[in-house]
Homo-oligomer: A and B are copies of this chain.
Amino acid sequence: MSNSKLYKGSLNTIILKLLNEHDKMYGYEITQKVKALTKGELKITEGALYPALHKLEAEGLLDVEVAKVDNRLRKYYKLTETGTKETVNKLEELADYIKTMQALVNPKLA
């Protein structure tokens, strides 16, 4: 059952990592990819995603390119050079966090 809660702070990491793997993606595609990869466990809401994309763009981590497909708008995002570096940092941060949490929650294995 059900829809892991998204721990606040991890959305940017998810976005950056997906863009690191897929070169360019548009918002809706990201929501679908996350759903697929997590077998429905995690659903990125639009209210969280779009502002996050705008912010990453404003910070210079993403570039945008608008396209029209089937008469519908798409905004393709891709990592800038800075974005690629930041992706590495974010992934390290996540790995550290997971390690840290395991030290707390499962101290016998640490």
Contacts and interface: CB of A to CB of B under 8 A. Distances in A.
Interface of A: 4-5, 7-10, 13-14, 17-18, 21, 34, 37-39, 41-42, 91, 93-94, 96-98, 100-101, 103-105, 107, 110
Nearest to A20: B105
A105 B94 contact: yes
A14 B104 contact: yes
B5 A97 contact: yes
7 contacts: A5-B97, A7-B97, A17-B104, A34-B104, A38-B103, A39-B103, A42-B100
A37 to B, nearest CB: 6
A68 to B, nearest CB: 29
